[in-house]
Structures are given as C-alpha cells and as structure tokens.
Structure 1
Amino acid sequence: MKYCHKCQMNMLNELTKCPLCNESLEEVGPSQGREYPLKFVRKKRFPIIRMTLFISMIIISYSIIVGLFQDFNWDYIFIITGATAYLCLSVVFSLKVSRNLGPMIVVQVMFLSLLALLIDYTFGYSKWSINYVFPIAIMTGTLVLTLRMILQPKKFSDTVVYQLLLTLLGVICAILVVFHVVTFEFIAVLAGYYTIITFLGMFIFGDQKMVHELKKKFHI
C-alpha cells in the first residue's frame, strides 16, 4: 500500500506518484492514513413543518365540510380557519428563522393583528382589534427587541432592520388616528411614540454602528 501525504489518501496500486496532486507516494503499512471518501449518514428528522401543514389542512377542510352539510354558523368557520392558518404559519416561520428573533417578532405582530381584525370584523367590527390589539402588539414587539439589545448587545446588528419595521408600523398606527380609523387614540399615539423614541435611542446609543448596518442592509 502506498500513501500520499498531501492528499492523505491510501493507494492500492503500483503507481509512484499521486494521480490527484502528482506528489511522490510513500510505501506504508496497511494502518497508516485515513480511508477516503468518508460516508456521513444523514439523520432523519421528524418532518414537523409538513406535519403542521397537513394537520392544518385537515382542520380547515373539516370545518368547511361541517359548514356545508350542517346547520353551522359560518362566522365560526372563518375564525377557525383564520386561527388555524395563524398557528400554522407561526410554527412554520418560527422553525425557519429559529435563530433570528427579529423577523419572528415582526411576523407575529402582523399575523396576530390580522387574526384579531378577522375576529373583530366577523362579529360586527367594534374596532377593538385596531384600538387595542394592533398598538399593544407593536409595543410588545418593540419591548422584546429592546430587551434583546440590552441583554445581548452582540445581536444589535440583527435587530436594527426589524426595529425599523416596527417603527413604521407604529407610525401607521398613529396615522390611523388622524384619519379617525382608530377611536381610542391614546394607545395608538403611545405606540407610535414608543417605537419612534426607541428607534431614535438606537441611533443615539448605536452611533455609527447602526448607520453602517442600515447602509449595509439597504445597499446604500
């Protein structure tokens, strides 16, 4: 048996030079070097995403069938469908971006607000979804990202863009007050103020680091 020190491969032939690197081969015993190629067995993982999608399809389709063949209130079917879709998308998205908290928070704020709006609209639209759920969800998401930046300063660059998105949602929430879409003005204005002041605080304490991160994200 011959051995190539550069490629770290055993050669079971009579060649004097390695066919890969053209280096001279050394005569060795059967135990030196390592076998190549190595086989890596990929572990089978439980398909959580596919299972979640499949269960969601069963729940939604079953609800529709019950609504078609039974004297059942379709309002509840809309709520069941919306809630199932929300849970399904939340699980799928959380598994996809499990290492990054920022997009998960932004998506949760948007999905939860849409689900609340669907439930509110289904039962007559008393505007509790716009007056309370939407601004409170924005402030909660902003608080979570703020705590993350304080407790994990190294994650600052991963949080900037998502805090900017929450700030835009907070501004939209405050603008809804101007157009009288929101009837309980205090929480909406507070959400807009809180997100803006948080973003300005990131500018003050982040200094050039935040500016550099925004330029990098938006290719400026």
Structure 2
Amino acid sequence: MKYCKKCDIKILDELEYCPLCRSALCPIKELDPLDAARIRLLKEDEKRLDAREEELRGKREEFEAACGQRDREIQAIRENAADHRVGTKEARKQIKQSRNRFRQQIREGRLTTKGQLRLAEHKLERRRERREGGLLAYPNVVIRQKKYAIVLRALVFAALLVSSLSLLIDHYFNHAFSWSLTVLESLLFMAWMLYLFYKDLGYMRRIFGGVFGGLVCFFFIDLQYGLFQWSFSYSYPIAVLLIELSLLILMLVNRRNWESYLIVQILMLPLGFLSMVFYWLGLAEEELLSEIALLFPILVFLGTLLLGGRRALAELRRRFHI
C-alpha cells in the first residue's frame, strides 16, 4: 500500500505513480485495520479473476476438442460415402445426427460457444483493466469537467476585461458608446454559446438556444445603429430556414428515430408564420424571404407526414394523447 502526498489519497494497488496526478507514491509502513481488510479483499478478487481465467481457458479447450471430434466424425462419414461403404442418404443422415449431438451439448450447457467465451473474456479483461488501473481501490475522479470549468471562467473573465476596455476607450475618445456596445453584445453572445456547449442540454436545445441568441444579438445591433430592420428582414427568416435544414439533417442522421422530430416541426410552424407577421407589421421589408420562411416549415411538416405514414400518425397520437 502506498500514499500520494499531492492528492492526499491511499493507493491499495501496487503502483509506482499516482493515477490522478502521476506523481511518485510513498510507501506506508503501518497499515490501518480497514486498509488491511481492503488489501485482503483486493487479493481475494485477484484470485477470483485468476480462477475465472483458468475456467474460461478450460471451457475453450473443451469446446475446441468437441469441434475437432465433430469435424473428424463428419470427415470419416464423407470418406466412407466416397468409398461407397455407406450410401449417400445414410451419410447425410449420420452427418446430421453428428451435428445435432453437438448442438444438443450446447443447449444442455455442457459446452460454451465461441460468442459466450468471447463475451466472458471481454468482461474479465475489462475487470482486470479496472483492477490494474486502481478503480476498485478509490473513486473515479472526473478531472475533465474541472478543466472545462476553469477554461470557461477564464474566457468569461477575458470577455469582461475586453468589454470593459472597449467601453472605456469608446467613451474616452467619442464621449459616447458606439462600437463598444457591439463588442459587448458579441462577447455576450460568445459567452452564451460557451454556456450552451458546456452544459449537457442536448443538441436540440443547443441549436435553438444558439440561433435565438444570435437573433437577439442581431436585433440589439440593429437597434443600436438606427433600426434599419435588417434583423427582421433577413436574420429571422434565415434563422428559421437554418433550423429547418438542421432538422432535416438530424432526421437523415437519426433515421431510426426520425419521428421524434415531429414535435419540433410543429413548433416551427408558428415561428415561420411569425416572419409574415413581421412583414405585415412593416418590420420586415423582404416579402419573398418571409414567404419562404413561412412555406418551408409547412412543406417539411406535410412531407414528413405523407412519407412517414402510419408511423408519423402514431407518433402524433402518442404525443398528444389522441
């Protein structure tokens, strides 16, 4: 048993370096009763693994011997049939009986198949890897999440620093906030995207969150420079089309579960209609782009229903409890 000064943990396995920090381990002369019991359990587990490995080796040899005996019997029957000692029908009958006897041994559990042996050996190998890596002696500490958290905090601090300097320089030279607000909005959008990809929110939430975060950012930039309405005329319809294209790609990739995207397609219908509402209210100027943003979700949804058939209807009934 050894001890890591840096991590302040005890290693029950016979390792030279700490698996967490890779520093050299120090030996422990006096053992606690609890640690001694743990070491005893680990040694017993090692003995069980060795016994299981020997058992699997014996079963593999037994299976190979049974296969060899079956092949020799079949070869002898075929040689007798070739020498006309046994008729063709009788030879086929004997070969079938030999194979049935072999299958009967497998069904009764007297023989273990190759697939079962490979599965058992794989489990044994995985257990040995865990045993040698020390995962049975101490908990598995996830370091990757801590690294991601540190990187995220560093990026947020850098964004705050850059935005503060931008506001200060813009106000000092122009006595107003013009381009610095654009920098601030862009950095906020980048921080939002980092948050979406850091949290385990699922790809659909990331897509919607990223697109609508970009829309909010574009709206404030448009509002800052005089509200020329390009955020309603171009950004919103293009965002709707991008989400629809993402849905089509996801449905093609996840072909076995494509019907799960029907709810998202239904959600896209009012969002597409909203582009025409912006045009009717005078906020958007591009009629063609707004109409495309309205029609494309409708066509995709109807096409999914027609091509999906009963499977799509069953998904809608299940979702809406019809």
Give the TM-score normalised by the residue count of structure 1. Answer: 0.72
Out of 154, 163, 168, the position equivalent to 1:65 is 168
* Cα distance change of structure 1 residues 166 and 50 upon mapping to structure 2, 3 Å threshold: farther
**Cα offset, 1:116, TM superposition:** 1.7
- Match of 1:62, SS state, is helix
In angstroms, what is the RMSD of aligned CA positions?
3.2
Q: Does residue 93 of structure 1 match 2:108?
A: no
* Cα distance change of structure 1 residues 179 and 52 upon mapping to structure 2, 3 Å threshold: same
Q: Distance in 2 between matches of 1:155 and 1:72?
A: 57
Question: Would the aligned equivalents of 1:60 and 1:84 in 2 still touch at CA under 8 Å?
Answer: yes
- Match of 1:64, SS state, is helix
* Cα distance change of structure 1 residues 97 and 204 upon mapping to structure 2, 3 Å threshold: farther
Q: Unaligned 5+ residue runs, structure 1?
A: 1-10, 13-27
- Match of 1:74, SS state, is coil
Q: Distance in 2 between matches of 1:101 and 1:31?
A: 43
* Cα distance change of structure 1 residues 142 and 30 upon mapping to structure 2, 3 Å threshold: closer
Q: Distance in 1 between matches of 2:292 and 2:227?
A: 23
Determine the structure 2 residue equivalent to 1:135: 237
Residues 44-193 of structure 1: pairs in structure 2 closer than 5 A: 44-45=143-144, 46=147, 47=149, 48-71=151-174, 73-97=176-200, 100-193=202-295
More deviation, 52-61/64-73: 64-73
Amino acid at match of 2:191: C
**Cα offset, 1:80, TM superposition:** 0.8
* Cα distance change of structure 1 residues 68 and 181 upon mapping to structure 2, 3 Å threshold: closer
- Number of paired residues? 194
Q: Which has the higher contact order (CA 8 A, sep 6+)?
A: 1
Q: Does residue 32 of structure 1 match 2:47?
A: yes
Amino acid at match of 1:168: P
* Cα distance change of structure 1 residues 112 and 41 upon mapping to structure 2, 3 Å threshold: same
**Cα offset, 1:133, TM superposition:** 1.5
Determine the structure 1 residue equivalent to 2:63: none
* Cα distance change of structure 1 residues 187 and 160 upon mapping to structure 2, 3 Å threshold: same
Structure with higher Rg: it is 2
Determine the structure 2 residue equivalent to 1:24: none
- Match of 1:181, SS state, is coil
Q: Give identity over the alignment, percent.
A: 19
Give the TM-score normalised by the residue count of structure 2. Answer: 0.51
Question: Would the aligned equivalents of 1:173 and 1:188 in 2 still touch at CA under 8 Å?
Answer: yes
Question: Would the aligned equivalents of 1:113 and 1:129 in 2 still touch at CA under 8 Å?
Answer: yes
* Cα distance change of structure 1 residues 104 and 136 upon mapping to structure 2, 3 Å threshold: same
Question: Would the aligned equivalents of 1:97 and 1:104 in 2 still touch at CA under 8 Å?
Answer: no
**Cα offset, 1:188, TM superposition:** 0.6
**Cα offset, 1:208, TM superposition:** 4.8
* Cα distance change of structure 1 residues 70 and 104 upon mapping to structure 2, 3 Å threshold: same
